Structure 1
Amino acid sequence: MNLVRTTFLIIGLLIISCYMRGAVAKTSSLAFDLDEISYYLSISKYDVALDVLKPLIAEYSDNKDVMKYMAFALIGKSSMVDTGSDLEKELYRKSIEYLEKALLLGADDEVLYLMLGIA
């Protein structure tokens, strides 16, 4: 009986450790992606940042940092299109949507200041 219990305990611990390893890898992957996005935003490579962000939006729609960086990238991209164009208006509208989502998820004050700057 002890052998059966020990076997189930070991199998359970293996399953938990595999699950936790996957969760840790997923979290560290997100942190790496956010660092990469931050770098691209800092050197005004908004298209590249948006390319990195697009797959993250679907997977991490409940992450305030992903929403915040998406808004920053959209605002940056809007500064590179013609002033007053429909594309600029659409990019601003989308960026405000992402900023609102970030605020609802508990983003910090810099998002609020950015929204005030847009308005």
Structure 2
Amino acid sequence: MKKLETRQDIEHLVNSFYDKVVHDETIGFFFNDVAKVNWDNHLPKMYAFWESVLFGQMTYKGNPMGAHFPINEVHAMEKQHFERWLELWISTIEEEFTGENADMAVYKAQNIAKLMAFKMELARRL
């Protein structure tokens, strides 16, 4: 296994992760049917997001929370969906990478999943 150190590593991680996501029975439909994700647009945003989160490059310009609220209005994004997202993310990292940045990618994703699940639940109650 290799260390997670470069933009190319992030691209590989993100691509491997989303290869799993689109085929996943629990969350794939959010991407394929609800959001109808344009992967040519989405993947570069995710590369920039994780490059910013892990390497402090500040290449990401966007609002991840805001992007999820409209999806949540169409179909509830619940805790178990974010837990599954996290499981796929962690398994992808563990299959491919090791080291401090890999550990940080897990830690950051855990925080993101918890916050997103909380915010989506709160939005449904309002």
Q: TM-score if structure 1 supplies the norm length?
A: 0.35
Greater helix share, structure number = 1
Rg bigger for which structure? 1
Q: TM-score if structure 2 supplies the norm length?
A: 0.34
